[in-house]
Amino acid sequence: MTRHVVRENLSLVQDEIAVAVAGLDDRQLTVLAAELQSARRVFVAGAGRSGLVLRMAAMRLMHLGLTVHVAGDATTPAICSGDLLLVASGSGTTSGVVKSAETAAGAGAHIAALTTSASSPLAVLADALVIIPAAQKTDHGSGVSRQYSGSLFEQALFLATESVFQTLWEDAGQPAEQLWLRHANLE
């Protein structure tokens, strides 16, 4: 292993992310931002690394003053009408995530989904859909990404959620100091 190889791989990751992010549909992200802004409460649900990215998004939304819950946490209340479930799954078929979306839909909540597949079960359930142009985690050798598994999806998911947060923050006009007051102080 050489520094040269590490630099080449850093460039590979950076270039793939740039292509994926350039392929995001601004209209879809705008609809997602509007859904987040109008929701009474926001719930997030995702598995694995996608779930971790959504936990980061939940933290940022909480900093904005939104009421946010992570599905599966012991203190998460029941979802209902007026709420929004934010979900992510590269394939759009992750069973626990799809089941959460079905439950939310049955309770009258809106669903915002981020996935690679517009025809997936998760996409079909979505009121707001963001298609991330990345390989699915089992899409080995497709030419969409040379990175392992769903790495490109998760990287683009992070940037998509961060751009929506930034948009909502700018729209709210809250100074950073105000958001900071909501930052965890029991670390």
Give the DSSP letter string of 66-91.
Answer: --EEETTSTT-----TT-EEEEE-SS
Predicted local confidence at residue 136, as pLDDT: 72
What is the helix (H) or strand (E) element at residue 123, kind and residue range? helix 121-125
Tell me which amino acid residue 9 is.
N
Predicted local confidence at residue 177, as pLDDT: 96
Q: Which region holds residue 45: left if phi is over 0, alpha if psi is between -120 and 50, else beta?
A: beta
Task: Name all domains of the chain by residue range, CATH numbers in brackets.
Answer: 3-174 (3.40.50.10490)
Is 102 in the active site? no
- For 43, which DSSP code? E
pTM above 0.85, yes or no: yes
Q: Tell me which of 16, 35, 102, 154 is the catalytic residue.
A: 154
Predicted local confidence at residue 145, as pLDDT: 86
Predicted local confidence at residue 143, as pLDDT: 72
Tell me which amino acid residue 77 is.
P
Could you list the mean pLDDT of each consecutive 10-residue stretch along the chain, which spans 187 residues? Answer: 92 95 98 98 97 98 98 97 98 97 98 97 98 80 79 96 98 96 92
Determine the Cα–Cα distance for residues 71 and 99; give it in Å rounded to an integer. Answer: 12
Determine the Cα–Cα distance for residues 12 and 149; give it in Å rounded to an integer. Answer: 15
